[in-house]
Amino acid sequence: LQSVLANMTGGIVMIDAGQSIALVNREAERMLGIQAGKVTGKPYTELKRHYELTRTIEESVALKERMHEEVSVFNPEEKLIRIDGVPMSEDDGGYRGMLFLLQDVTAIRRLESMRSEFVANVSHELKTPVAAVKGFAETLLSGGVQDKETERSFLKIIYDEGDRLNRLIGDILELSKIESKRAPLQCSPVHVHSFFEMVLGTLSKVAEKKQIRLEMHVPEELYIEADEDKMKQIFINLLSNGINYTPDGGRVKLQVTMDNDDEVVFAVSDTGIGIPKKDLPRIFERFYRVDKGRSRNSGGTGLGLSIVKHLVELHHGKLSVESELGMGTTFRVILPFIQDEEM
């Protein structure tokens, strides 16, 4: 019985009829940051550091009835604990105390709130372009626009917003595919130099338009084992951000170096507008744009970097960013040379 209690994945706290702590198992010790040796035999008010928990115990010890409750404890970061309490009785029916089962539901609740947040975000993001398409189409249909030029500009807006909707839906589908792991890696050796010649090639038109110089410094003889399509998505996203968020006449640079024997470092840096310090921790979140205004102009959806983050993680790599406002930004991707099956 001792070893069952000690190895249970749920926490157990037993309060006896005299309102003292009779038993605390190992998992409850870990959840609450207490030591059984120090609290057993003491009144339950010893747990007062966990205010909500103590209050819940107080209530149920008074009522002597079955109960369920969710409380927050801080140890040191916040955790959500589900408590199920049952009164214990002697064979003759006399009250012996309360038994509490504690379960950490932090991760489940976080996932639930993330999911509903995602749905809310998606609907919000879709509403704006749909409203624009509808509004401008209505105006045109009502015949209120006389001159050809205004008419054309309205049609252009409808076209652009339609385009934006299309990209948004494409990105959302892509992201959900990656997140649900329905997109396994298909690895092959990639010759890094020719890979980036191809990638920069596809971006050269956009860069030229803004007179942005694209530079690459890549060792000639380097190969890496990776999923080429996904790797292309990663760097097209990072390099297009570099081009998008750099004023005309700037520079976007890609530098590849070997870190040690088993990793390759890809640095994408630009001389652009930069990202404020306070936004840095959040830019990899879905739909996060530093300043909605500046990204709307470029038609951004705020999904690019969250896709990048997922793809880098799929490759067991690391992603980091440094930036100085008005000076430029550097994104660093570190990928292992070899994709280990085991990982």
Binding residues for ligand ATP, per CB under 6 A? Answer: 171, 237, 241-242, 245, 270, 272-275, 283, 288-290, 295, 300-305, 329
For ligand ATP, which is the closer residue by CB, 25 or 295? 295
Nearest to 109 by CA among 156, 141, 72: 72
Residues 232, 199 contacting (CB under 8 angstroms): yes
In the list 25, 233, 241, 339, the residue contacting Mg ion (rule: CB under 5 A) is 241
How many residues lie near Mg ion (CB under 5 A)? Answer: 2
- 307/159 Cα distance (integer angstroms): 25
- Cβ proximity to ligand ATP, 227 vs 270, nearer residue: 270
Q: Is 147 left (phi over 0), alpha (psi -120 to 50) or beta?
A: beta
Q: Which residues contact 127 (CB under 8 A, 6 or more apart)?
A: none
Angle at CA 134, nearest 5°, toward 128 and 139? 125
What one-character-per-residue DSSP string does 236-251 give?
A: HHHHHHHHHTS-TT-E
Smallest distance from ligand ATP to CB 170, Å: 10
Q: Which does 337 bind (CB under 5 to 8 A by kind): Mg ion, ligand ATP, none?
A: none
Residue 275 contact, options ligand ATP, Mg ion, none, Cβ 5-8 Å cut-off depending on partner type: ligand ATP
User: Least CB distance from residue 203 to ligand ATP, whole Å?
Assistant: 13
Contacts for 241 with CB less than 8 Å, ≥ 6 apart: 270, 304, 305, 331
Q: How far is the CB of 169 from ligand ATP (least distance, A)?
A: 12
- CA 13-16-18 angle, to 5 degrees, is 140
Residues 57-116 that bind Mg ion (CB under 5 A): none
Using the structure block, give the residue that is written with the tokens 């070997």: 258
In 3-state terms, what secondary structure has residue 264?
A: strand
Q: In the numeric block, which tokens belong to residue 78?
A: 């916040």
Partner touching 73 among Mg ion, ligand ATP, none, CB below 5 to 8 Å by kind: none
Q: How far is the CB of 237 from Mg ion (least distance, A)?
A: 6
CA distance 221 to 223: 7
| The binder of Mg ion chosen from 304, 317, 328, 336 (CB under 5 A) | 304
Which CB sits closer to ligand ATP, 97 or 250? Answer: 250
For ligand ATP, the closer CB: 154 or 288: 288
Q: What are the residues whose beta carbons fall under 8 Å from the beta carbon of 195, sequence distance 6 or more?
A: 228, 231, 232
**Min dist. Cβ of residue 68 to ligand ATP (A):** 41
Q: How far is 288 from 303, CA to CA, in rounded Å?
A: 7
Least distance (Å) between residue 314 CB and Mg ion: 19
Window contacting Mg ion (CB under 5 A); options: 6-14, 57-65, 101-109, 238-246: 238-246
User: In the complex with ligand ATP, which residue's Cβ is closer, 43 or 247?
Assistant: 247
Q: Which lies closer to ligand ATP via its Cβ, residue 60 or residue 241?
A: 241
Nearest distance, CB of residue 324 and ligand ATP, angstroms: 10
What's the token pair of residue 325? 């406002």
- The contact set with Mg ion (CB under 5 A) reads 241, 304
